[in-house]
Chains A and B, each alone.
Chain A
């Protein structure tokens, strides 16, 4: 049945997935095991997205199913699930820009690929990034933005990281609608990722996991 849950979730079969989860909970199974299977299912979703078999709606829907699974499992959970993470990443959409869809996709993909992502949200001032880097000691920072006006916010964020004396300790990637290598050079970031998969490869490369 473990394999069933992994596959039904990976195949986005919502009703079947929830039925399996309910059955397993009723049978008294360790809720952490159920969540671990769900995580494996999401990992497959991420792989299918990376190979263009799945698209954004599939990611969104898998997230919806996972939410429903978690709601079922949560009341039975006595301790939080722990899994070993590849590395920490601070992520956010830069100041003045409130677009989140692109950012959420990259965060999702980093998460299912084993990273501990500290998602600050949207419209994040440069100083907030700096504080979070200090707090988490994350070696990687992801800056997201949709507007051309975000070019300057990204540059300001990289400058603030520099001013805080952290520039040598972190690698910075940028991404979003109108971003490019030109923009990367302008902002002083280390790399531009064209899509979520590029973001994952960069992160893996930077922590030496690829």
Chain B
């Protein structure tokens, strides 16, 4: 009899999740060839990550930002607002370049949703930055330095009545909403609900309903894409995403400067807040892995990069809480796929402290020889194709770089060729060369 989920070890859980991904339920493959490609690709990635067994060749992944739009002659603006155009562009991208996985048609997101709610956290094409550029963050202290206590007391209420009104212009009236955790008896219950009768609150709810409908419309396209790509032979490279607690607080709550000052002025509160966030973000990863029958959960890492804090600060504020998230996922068989944007050379020793074969590290500007040497026995390493090379270099230079990467990192498996950072308007011939040359040169004999 099959083991119950609760009785399984984390190894068994991971294997079970991989098996589900290898044989996706309800996918009707477009052809026997597509089915063969899907299984080969998924197996190749699984082998590279588990580092138990060498894959048949070095896998190659392409994780684009707005490149598929540019490649189809569209602007980032176009694909954020026309969901069908986005789907077609992303499909053309994967079909033309044939990497070993797809990463969804996720980058653009529903432009109208952001318009309806008047999103303040970002500028996006046609809304603060030109149509042909990418979305960019408006740095700020959306949570103030003296608001840790309010956050810690009740994060959900704090988000509903403080953060949402600040980051969505249309939800500003939500600052009047009651804390429903005080609903209890007959007395005093009705009155709690009076804010829902206020005209501005009702208008905010109307905007919210409209935004929800727009997201649903977009999601229809998004899910159709998620269904079609496996049928065409591309396993999904990410079921969803989660983050490091320091980045959760630092990216869009306290801001880069705010959280850096907090490390000195109120370190205990910062640590308490990271602890508070951790279970939410572990659960997010597990839920998304379950929903999409895919073990891979993406983690974009930002503020622990080289130089962004000292080693001591990294060991105190960044790694322990990221590690909690990772172990929480690993225990449930989920596979964290971490993207360390920027440099991570000074972090390699520290991040090696994880069980073997459980995570993949996508590196941007790291010394890959060192990364292989330090991490090679415990984790799969990924990436390092430089942005300047893909944007300005020649196919021959791309070939030389891929060759160097495979020579340095490919031995024994546990390495995947991929771009180091998400790419926009790079040369298509360089992307093509990167994939094709990996397939040619990366085959293990």
Q: Which residues of A contact B (CB under 8 A)?
A: 12, 14, 54-58, 60-61, 64, 96-101, 123, 147-149, 151, 177-180, 182-183, 186, 195
Identify which of residues 384-407 in chain B touch chain A, using a CB-to-CB cut-off of 8 Å.
386-389, 391-393
User: Are B421 and A178 in contact, with the CB atoms below 8 A?
Assistant: yes
Which of B6-14, B129-137, B166-174, B212-220 forms contacts with chain A? Answer: B129-137
Supply 8 further A-B pairs (C-beta < 8 A) apart from A55-B313, A56-B307, A177-B342. Answer: A12-B264, A55-B308, A97-B133, A98-B136, A98-B138, A99-B136, A182-B389, A183-B392
User: Are A64 and B261 in contact, with the CB atoms below 8 A?
Assistant: yes
- The answer to whether residues A148 and B257 also contact, given A12-B264, A177-B342, A183-B388 and a CB cut-off of 8 A, is no
4 residue pairs, one from A and one from B, having the closest CB atoms:
A57-B260, A178-B387, A60-B260, A180-B388
A-B pairs with beta carbons under 8 A, tally: 86
User: Are A57 and B386 in contact, with the CB atoms below 8 A?
Assistant: no
Give the residues in chain A near B265, CB-CB below 8 Å.
Answer: 14
Give the residues in chain B near A96, CB-CB below 8 Å.
Answer: 129-130, 132-133
Give the residues in chain B near A179, CB-CB below 8 Å.
Answer: 388
From residue A143, how far is it (CB to closest CB) to chain B in Å?
15
Is B161 an interface residue when CB atoms closer than 8 A count as contact?
Answer: no
Which of B30-38, B93-101, B423-431 forms contacts with chain A? Answer: B423-431
Give the residues in chain A near B132, CB-CB below 8 Å.
Answer: 96, 149
User: Are A182 and B393 in contact, with the CB atoms below 8 A?
Assistant: yes
The residue from B123, B263, B342, B425 contacting A148, defined by CB atoms under 8 A apart: B425
- The answer to whether residues A178 and B388 also contact, given A55-B307, A56-B307, A57-B310 and a CB cut-off of 8 A, is yes
Is B160 an interface residue when CB atoms closer than 8 A count as contact?
Answer: no
User: Are A55 and B309 in contact, with the CB atoms below 8 A?
Assistant: yes
Q: Can you give 13 contacting A-B residue pairs, CB < 8 Å? A: A55-B308, A56-B307, A57-B263, A57-B264, A60-B261, A61-B264, A98-B138, A148-B387, A149-B132, A149-B424, A178-B386, A178-B388, A179-B388
Give Cα A48–Cα B102 distance, bound, in whole angstroms. 45
User: Are B136 and A97 in contact, with the CB atoms below 8 A?
Assistant: yes
Give the residues in chain B near A61, CB-CB below 8 Å.
Answer: 260-261, 263-264
Give Cα A61–Cα B309 distance, bound, in whole angstroms. 12
Give Cα A60–Cα B264 distance, bound, in whole angstroms. 11
Give Cα A177–Cα B305 distance, bound, in whole angstroms. 12
A98 to B, closest residue via Cβ? B136
- The answer to whether residues A147 and B133 also contact, given A12-B264, A55-B310, A177-B342 and a CB cut-off of 8 A, is yes
User: Are B307 and A148 in contact, with the CB atoms below 8 A?
Assistant: no
Is B139 an interface residue when CB atoms closer than 8 A count as contact?
Answer: yes
From residue B257, how far is it (CB to closest CB) to chain A in Å?
5
- The answer to whether residues A151 and B310 also contact, given A60-B257, A60-B261, A61-B261 and a CB cut-off of 8 A, is no
A13 to B, closest residue via Cβ? B264
* B133-175 contact mask (Cβ, 8 Å, vs A): 1 or 0: 1101011000000000000000000000000000000000000
Is B292 an interface residue when CB atoms closer than 8 A count as contact?
Answer: no
User: Are B309 and A57 in contact, with the CB atoms below 8 A?
Assistant: yes
Give the residues in chain A near B391, CB-CB below 8 Å.
Answer: 148, 151, 178, 183
Give the residues in chain B near A100, CB-CB below 8 Å.
Answer: 139
From residue B225, how far is it (CB to closest CB) to chain A in Å?
25
Give the residues in chain A near B393, CB-CB below 8 Å.
Answer: 182
Interface core residue of B132, B265, B307 (most chain A CB under 10 Å): B307
Is B256 an interface residue when CB atoms closer than 8 A count as contact?
Answer: yes
From residue B441, how far is it (CB to closest CB) to chain A in Å?
23
A184 to B, closest residue via Cβ? B388
Give the residues in chain A near B129, CB-CB below 8 Å.
Answer: 96, 98, 123
Interface core residue of A60, A61, A148, A183 (most chain B CB under 10 Å): A148
B341 to A, closest residue via Cβ? A177
From residue B109, how far is it (CB to closest CB) to chain A in Å?
18
A151 to B, closest residue via Cβ? B391
A53 to B, closest residue via Cβ? B310
Give the residues in chain A near B130, CB-CB below 8 Å.
Answer: 96
Give the residues in chain B near A60, CB-CB below 8 Å.
Answer: 256-257, 260-261
From residue B364, how far is it (CB to closest CB) to chain A in Å?
9
Give the residues in chain A near B421, CB-CB below 8 Å.
Answer: 177-178
Give the residues in chain A near B423, CB-CB below 8 Å.
Answer: 148
Give Cα A62–Cα B393 distance, bound, in whole angstroms. 40
